[in-house]
Amino acid sequence: MADFEHAQAMLRMAHKDFNALTGMLDSTVFADEIFGFHVQQTVEKALKAWLCACGVAYPPTHDLARLLTLLEKTGADIEQFWPLVQFTIFAVQARYEEGLADQDETVERVVEIENVRNLLAITEKFITDYAAGL
């Protein structure tokens, strides 16, 4: 059975991380590791909200691929969100190691903000439609 109250709470928390994310466009102020952490947190919470609305108990994990796989098993069309899996490393490892300091490419912040915004919009619509019985 779906838990819409919990799904909505998770979505509200995801929006808080997203709001922080949108204020981090300046890479001279916010390192990629900090920006990436908030991308990962927003995506993780949005996926868990979506799973919750589907009635799927989600595991205590930061692994975005694992969460997407669970959603995929519900029949959800999540193909466009697979590229966000690259942010799993920012959940823990990238925040505590200096391995990203020498990465070849910087994070395309505007692009990733739009990708996350899209995930939030689709998740919110799913929860609202599902709650309304659509």
Residue 15 parent element (H or E)? helix 4-22
pLDDT at 125 over 60: yes
- Per-residue pLDDT of 16-41, as tens digits, reads 999 999 999 999 999 888 999 999 99
- Per-residue pLDDT of 80-108, as tens digits, reads 999 999 999 888 776 666 555 555 678 89
The pLDDT of residue 103: 57
The pLDDT of residue 99: 53
- Per-residue pLDDT of 46-83, as tens digits, reads 999 999 999 999 999 999 999 999 999 999 999 999 99
User: Mean pLDDT across the stretch 6-13?
Assistant: 94
Q: What is the DSSP-derived secondary structure letter of residue 59?
A: P
* 51 token code pair: 């799973």
The pLDDT of residue 131: 73
The pLDDT of residue 91: 85
Euclidean distance between CA atoms 64 and 91, whole angstroms: 10
Euclidean distance between CA atoms 86 and 63, whole angstroms: 10
Per the rule left: phi > 0, alpha: psi between -120 and 50, beta: everything else, 86 is: alpha
Euclidean distance between CA atoms 88 and 44, whole angstroms: 9
Domains recognised in the chain with CATH numbers:
4-131 (1.20.120.330)
